[in-house]
Amino acid sequence: MDLDLSDHHELLRRTVREFAEGEVAPVAGELDRTKSVPYEIIRKLGALNLMGIPFPEEHGGAGGDTLAYALAVEELARVDSSVAITLCAHTSLGTQPIHLFGSEAQKDEWLPRLCAGEILGAFGLTEAEAGSDAANTKTRARLGGGGWVIDGSKQFITNAGTDISGLVTITALTGEGEISNFLVPNGTPGYEQGEPYRKMGWNASDTRPLTFDDCRVPEDSLLGPRGHGLRQFLHVLAIGRIGVAAMGLGLAQGAFDEALAYARQRRAFGRAISSFQAIQIKLADMATEIESARLLVYRAALLKDSGRDFALAAAQAKLKTGRLAVRCAEEAVQIHGGYGYIEEYPVCRMYRDAKILTIGEGTDEIQQMVIARALGA
């Protein structure tokens, strides 16, 4: 088994790392403080062809694979989770459904602009009673007046309300127990974005509720066959877990990097605190767990790229890295001591950003259910 990255993947990693450290890190704290969506960074990511990494070149993508995408997300999350989730939600959830299930006309209309980062895509699944119970959607769509009429609401939706949001893909009931997916462009009458949530973390990303009140879209806004929405979004969520797992891996690595650097320069009792066994044990455990988690994430990506079943590996990677991100961020704050509680230090932001990784894209409990079922339990 070859565990080394290819030259192509290593070059991508270096490129994204240099971008993250040079363009994102200097402004991440201010973006978090002001809760500002990083439009300039998004435009630069688009210019680097990073907003459409895993999509075909004929549709404006970079023609890369899932591993390349995971590497990019990991390197961004190592510095800032808000930028990483903006890319992640746009790619895995906003663009992926169109790439997988869209008609050629839908692909031609949307993919080039999405891949270029000219517009952001969003995915609307979660509702008040349809989160972990994803099939319990209440939003409805009926045929009428030459198109579909949509009524309902969504919550916790990322990227739908920014100044460059292009469209949202939503799930809706089209019959008794029949779920279908629809493309709803921003600006469609009857489609409104609520005010952004006041969140614990990911402050520089856009998350808000959506409402659909007599919202009318053309008949060809249906994404894929009618009634295939459930199987479609379950597949999309499995792919999305690889991206979120890469986010957890990146945050854990970033927290470790900050903790190690601080421990080397912080002195107590006449020497660097990195020389004390209590700190060394924390750092050693963090580094070991991060490397094991990295293997899980990359394996899930490689399984998908080889056309094999990746759902179990994606769930395992997501479960592992979400918990690890929380632990590494907490340990990094502990190593920083009082300074870790001060917003001036990145580990404070990382600590706030980490917890959602055990909740979003399927809670830890849902991942455990997926894993248990795959094991035949």
Tell me the C-alpha distance between 243 and 314, whole Å: 9
- Asked if 361 is an active-site residue, the reply is yes
Amino acid in the structure at residue 223: L
23, 40, 361, 365: which one is catalytic? 361
Tell me the C-alpha distance between 216 and 147, whole Å: 7
Nearest to 337 by CA among 327, 347, 328: 347
Residue 288, token pair as written in the block: 């070991």
Continuous segment of H or E residues that includes residue 183: strand 178-185
Continuous segment of H or E residues that includes residue 365: helix 364-374
Tell me the C-alpha distance between 86 and 109, whole Å: 21
Tell me the C-alpha distance between 349 and 23, whole Å: 18
Tell me the C-alpha distance between 264 and 262, whole Å: 5
Tell me the C-alpha distance between 42 and 325, whole Å: 24
DSSP 127-172: BTTBSSSTT----EEEEETTEEEEEEEEEEEESSSSTTEEEEEEEE
Give me the count of residues in the chain: 377
Tell me the C-alpha distance between 232 and 99, whole Å: 12
Is the dihedral angle over the CA atoms 369, 305, 68, 64 positive or is it negative? negative
Catalytic residue numbers read 361
